[in-house]
Amino acid sequence: MRFIRLSAEGRILNILKIITLIGISINVYSYTIGLENESTPILTRHNDFFEFWSMSKAIWSGFVDRIYDVKAFSAYQLDLQGGKSSFILPNFYPPSFLFFVLPLSLGPFLVMAHVWIFGTLALFATLGQGRRWSGRRALVLLAAPSTMVTMAAGQTGFLTAALLGGGLGLLRTHPVAAGVCLGLVTIKPHLALLAGVALLAARAWRAILAAALTFATLAGLSAAAFGPELWLDWVRVLPQAWEMNLAAFDRLGGFMPTLTGALLKLGTPLAVAKTAQTLA
């Protein structure tokens, strides 16, 4: 394999591309959430990130054993905002995700929101794109509606896309590293299931083993750090997550790009939609 050394001019052009990307990102970010309007309620600007921030607060304040109690955790979030919001943002992420949010409350909300959003965006650009990075890819990334939604809400989209993209990109050359990346995707279990199917289809046994060990390590460490009963609490709350999503379907249905969501939008009975999703 030949490696082409960039000239000084080429390096300068790459730096200018990065600066341009940052500038466009800030513009998109400002346009999407209105940073200039500091009177906008926190949850209106970064509703998903507020969930992560409040999870971190709960860990450091000793409230972690109640984060899967929907009523208690919602009351805790309300208290964090001085009772100024009635949004309910329950936590349905597995306990292994707590390691990812642990440092997020160590600074002011908006500062840490920016760190999270641009940090995970940088991770996606680096790990998810790798050597395939180009100016065109950057523009496509920034133009994608999912980018605006992720930046506005502070979702995990950049993080999971980085891990999925990095895992699949490394699969042929570095299967163990690929497995580690895909094992970390278990913070979003439904995405991890899809990654598992892909690995099985590719018969990538080393990557499968690495992914399984990564998940087992995360699960074990989280059980040791936060208590094994937290995993049982998570399993128990999952049916409630489904019920809450259905109850809010009229408001949130547009954010559910699934076969179930599409069929429900068309008026299909719930049982039929769930069966179709399972078979698909």
Q: pLDDT confidence of 37, banded at 50, 70, 90?
A: very low
- For residue 85, give the DSSP letter: -
Q: Quick one: pLDDT at residue 125?
A: 81
* Percentage of residues in the chain having pLDDT higher than 90: 36
Whether the per-residue pLDDT at 162 is higher than 50: the answer is: yes
Q: Quick one: pLDDT at residue 269?
A: 81
Q: How many helices (H) and strands (E) are present in the chain, helices listed first?
A: 15, 0
Q: Pick the residue with more confidence: 48 or 138?
A: 48
CB burial string 202-239: b at 16+ within 10 A, e below: eebeebbebbbebbeebbeebeeebeeebbeebeebee
The token pair that represents 233 in the structure block: 């609490």
| pLDDT, the chain, mean | 80
pTM of the model: 0.78
Q: Pick the residue with more confidence: 234 or 34?
A: 234
Q: Quick one: pLDDT at residue 38?
A: 45
Residue 276: half-sphere exposure toward Cβ, Cα within 13 Å: 13
Query: Residue 138 to residues 21, 96, 154, 167: CA-CA distances in angstroms?
Result: 7, 31, 19, 20
Whether the per-residue pLDDT at 201 is higher than 60: the answer is: yes
The domain segmentation of the chain, as residue ranges, is 8-247
Q: pLDDT confidence of 3, banded at 50, 70, 90?
A: very low
CA distance 29 to 87: 23
